[in-house]
A = this chain, B = another copy of it.
Amino acid sequence: MNPNEVLHEHNLKRTGCREGIISVIMESGNPLSENEIRDRLSGTFDRTTFYRSFKTLQESKIIHKIVVDNQLVKYALDNTITQKQEHAHFYCEECQSVRCLESIPVKTPPLPDGFKATETEVIIKGLCDKCQKNIHA
């Protein structure tokens, strides 16, 4: 599924900013921060437009935020689009990247009486494979 199809399926107009955000995240394969996304878009859009586009894309459940540690915000495509199942995320404290760990599915544990879950997030922090290698090099 390409960005335009995604937008069309969600009844959103096809605009440069929205299209750009989706395709940059798609190409990366991993969650990106707002700045990482902007850096990868050649033509720059207004800051306001970015915020509004993110908001729209989130409201339409196309992307969602992952917030880790220092208020670092990363955006990822929704599982319905990537066709991944719910999975854990790994945050590297060294290079600050976030990776999807598809090998680790997320199960919501049984909750105390009266609580009802809609979503579960698992964030594992530590050192990623690349940084580990660099340190030992």
Given A71-B71, A109-B88: A115 touches B126 (CB 8 Å cut-off): yes
Residue A103 lies at the interface, judged by CB distance under 8 Å to chain B: yes
CB neighbours (8 Å) of A125 from chain B are 117-121
**Range for the number of chain A residues in contact with chain B:** 35 or more
Complex: how many Å from CA A114 to CA B136?
Answer: 11
Nearest CB in chain B to that of A128: its residue:
B115
Q: How far is the CB of A98 from chain B (nearest CB, A)?
A: 13
Given A67-B67, A68-B67: A90 touches B111 (CB 8 Å cut-off): yes
CB neighbours (8 Å) of A128 from chain B are 114-115
CB neighbours (8 Å) of A113 from chain B are 129
